Amino acid sequence: MSDRRETHEPEGRDIRVLLVDDQALLRVGFRMVLDAEEGIDVVGEASDGVEAVELAARLRPDVVLMDVRMPRLDGIAATERIVAAQPAARIIILTTFDLDEYAFGGLRAGASGFLLKDARPAELVAAIRSVDRGDASISPRITRKMLDLVVPQLAGEEPDSEQLRLLATLTEREREVLVAVAGGLSNAEIAERFFLSESTVKTHVSRVLLKLGLRDRVQAVIFAYEQGLV
């Protein structure tokens, strides 16, 4: 489990980014945007999932921009392998459509964000910085669409006894914060809802993730829906 979630990295550390997409022109476009951004270093490019796994192991990127549909090994399987080998790595799933079952599969596999390929440069940079510091790069609108996909899949599933045990370790306030996170609220919005400081909310979120053994906020969203909390 990573110790980087909900924390800020030391000043002066460049965010190491790996670009993964089978379209060379798209990689060129992303690289041009990121190369112009201070504090972000594109350390490599991969054209398929197999190459992505190999480069991730060698280059140890902080953030991976991961296409879903690629030859040899798709982005979902590649995400799963990278996250298993490098829990601290953050994966942002790239997709053409904002309602995409493949992209959701990537999130279930351990990705920390979701980004449209035609996102504006500022959105791309913000997503990278967001997941690097442990936040989820996924808007409330996309969260709702994502959950429209997962809820029917969870219908009829038996509750996981281990997850129920972990859920019981949360305090009442931590449980409330988990539900708020699952609703797509930011720390600032949660603070306003419960009349707390943002630093207190951040502490609650960190404790929730630690107690539940979750990597980040996206995994917390999925956990909350799997347990029927939302």
Please classify residue 195 by burial: count the beta carbons closer than 10 Å to its beta carbon, then call 0-12 exposed, 13-18 middle and 19+ buried: exposed
- Give Cα separations from 223 to 19, 41, 145, 163 (angstroms): 28, 32, 16, 8
What integer pLDDT is reported at residue 100 of this predicted model?
Answer: 57
Return the percentage of the chain with pLDDT > 70, whole number: 80
Residue with structure tokens 């996250």? Answer: 83
User: Which DSSP symbol is given to 137?
Assistant: B
Beta carbons within 10 angstroms of residue 15's beta carbon: 22
Q: Are strands 63-67 and 90-95 parallel, antiparallel or unpaired?
A: parallel
Among 34-48, 99-113, 179-193, the minimum mean pLDDT is found in 99-113
Query: Sign (positive/negative) of CA torsion 206, 211, 216, 220?
Result: negative
Q: Name the token pair of 16.
A: 């190491």
Strand partners, 65: 19, 92
Summarised one tens digit per residue, pLDDT across range 163-178 is 788 888 999 999 999 9
CATH code linked to domain 158-226: 1.10.10.10
- pLDDT over 70 (residue 90): yes
The domain ranges of the chain are 15-148, 158-226
Summarised one tens digit per residue, pLDDT across range 100-140 is 566 667 777 888 877 888 888 888 898 898 888 776 655 54
Give the class (CATH, top level) of 15-148. Answer: alpha beta
Reported as a pLDDT band with limits 50, 70 and 90, residue 8 is: very low
Instruction: Write the single-letter amino acid at 106.
Output: G
Q: What is the mean predicted confidence (pLDDT) over 147-173? A: 72
> b/e string for 113-150 if b means 16 or more Cβ within 10 A?
bbbbbeeeeeebbebbbbbbebbbbbeeebbebbbebb
For residue 2, give the 3-state DSSP assignment: coil
Q: Name the token pair of 227.
A: 């347990």
In degrees rounded to 5, what are phi and psi of residue 184?
85, 15
